Amino acid sequence: MPMYEYQCSDCGNQFEIRQKFSDEPLTECPECGGSVEKLISQTSFSLKGNGWYAEGYSKDSKSKTPQVCPKEGSCASCPSAAA
């Protein structure tokens, strides 16, 4: 479930809450009962280590990543089957 950040327009309380996508946005501050608005904040999403970019999209990915078929060339999409 994603985290959403809210700020109270009355007391200035800023808080985060975990909500489902289908949940209605909060309207009331848990501290003072005032009205709140949802903030737009930066995400902490980060790709680290080896993965899809290094193996599939980098400029020299083909020279670094040998393609080996786990079924020894018996699958239709196998890179060895085309050779």
6-52 per-position pLDDT tens digit: 999 999 999 999 999 899 999 999 999 999 999 987 766 666 666 66
Predicted confidence at residue 54, as pLDDT, reads 59
The answer to whether position 72 is within a domain reads no
The answer to whether position 34 is within a domain reads yes
Task: State the residue range of the domain holding 10.
Answer: 3-39
Tell me the pLDDT tens digit for each residue of 56-81.
Answer: 665 655 555 456 666 666 666 665 55
Predicted confidence at residue 68, as pLDDT, reads 64
Question: What is the total count of domains within the chain?
Answer: 1
The answer to whether position 45 is within a domain reads no
The answer to whether position 70 is within a domain reads no
Predicted confidence at residue 17, as pLDDT, reads 93
51 burial class (0-12, 13-18, 19+ CB within 10 angstroms)?
A: exposed
The answer to whether position 31 is within a domain reads yes
Answer yes or no: pTM beyond 0.85. Answer: no
